[in-house]
Amino acid sequence: MAIDTATDVFEEHRPVLMGVAYRMLARVADAEDVVQEAWLRWSAEDRSDVREPRGYLVRVTTRLAIDRLRQVRTRREAYVGPWLPEPYVTDFGDTVPDSAERALLADSVSLAVLVVLESLSPLERAVFVLKEAFGYPYADIAAILDRTEPAVRQLAGRARRHVGERRPRYEVDPAERRDLTERFLAAAGEGDLEGLMALLAPEARLIGDSGGLTRAPQRVLDGAEKVGRFVVGVTKKSVSALELRFLEVNGGLAVLVLSGGKPDSIIQLDVADGRVQCVYIVRNPEKLVSIPAG
């Protein structure tokens, strides 16, 4: 029987490590850097006494992600305009052969929830991710974070309260999201403000992330009228030069907008009760580099 090499073992657990790192950092490049650092430590480690490789690797990755999150939050304080997570494509067609890997990627948290996780401290976020997304017992999380179990339970309680107060209190039906997204795009393309207003909840919001590198609202737009007028104004100027494609981002339907064959933006709608609750638009080109154009 062949003995697994260090590379084989690491690659077996890479999807889990990427899942942890991305949920912690909400940016693909940062998550990949953390996973790469975990690999360097794993490959250099004397692994003879490592009885549970997955547990070891998750511990290393989580601690590295906590350190990286503290660093990037300093950068985000100077971010121009609203900040959104980097979209993470979770529909890879037939390019992800392993069903477990596919399931993990498809289960990636939504943009809305990742935004909420920004309100947590790095330790609270780590506890929340490990417990809620991966189902780790408190005792295991305590070992991963080098904290006592009572301290971890306290962190978990605070995290759940923060997330419960801010996260969307509805589940999105995929068919409903698809229908509303198609109707939203049709109304926007036709410049139909009345049609858009009928689709938007009265308290609808639009959050656009450009990082100051492209054109997008420099503040959150609140209210159906402001959102509708902005969408109509933008599409009137540029819709004929754009190509639209559906894809799955962060486990939900999104629209990839292509300009000249290159990713221009990602649009995703939060919907509930038959209305659009929030429009997310990511236009920062640095957050679109991992989006396939084909």
Supply 49's token pair.
């006494």
Domain-located, residue 292: no
Note whether 147 and 221 are same-domain residues: no
Q: Which two tokens stand for residue 60?
A: 């290393």
Tens digit of each residue's pLDDT (9 = 90 or more) over 206-257: 999 999 998 889 999 999 999 999 999 888 766 666 889 999 888 889 999 9
Residues 229 and 261 in one domain: yes
Domain's final residue, options 98, 131, 166: 166
Per-range mean pLDDT, top range of 3-12, 163-172, 195-204, 236-245: 195-204
Residue pLDDT, tens place only, 144-173: 999 999 999 999 999 999 988 877 666 667
| Same domain for 223 and 155 | no
Task: For the beta carbon of residue 227, count every other beta carbon within 10 angstroms.
Answer: 23
Boundaries of domain holding 273: 174-287
Tell me which of 101 and 38 has the higher pLDDT: 38
* Bridge partners for 247 per DSSP: 254
In a domain, 234, yes or no: yes
Q: Is 264 inside a domain boundary?
A: yes
Q: What pTM value is reported for the model?
A: 0.86
Q: Are residues 52 and 139 in the same domain?
A: yes
pLDDT one-digit tens code per residue, 249-291: 888 899 999 988 899 999 999 888 889 999 999 999 999 998 8
Tokens representing residue 78 in the block: 């100077």
In a domain, 179, yes or no: yes
What percentage of the chain has pLDDT greater than the value 90? 61
* Surface-to-core class of residue 106, CB atoms within 10 Å of its CB (0-12 exposed, 13-18 middle, 19+ buried): middle
Model pLDDT for residues 93-133, shown as the tens digit of each residue? 444 434 444 444 444 478 888 988 999 999 999 999 999 88
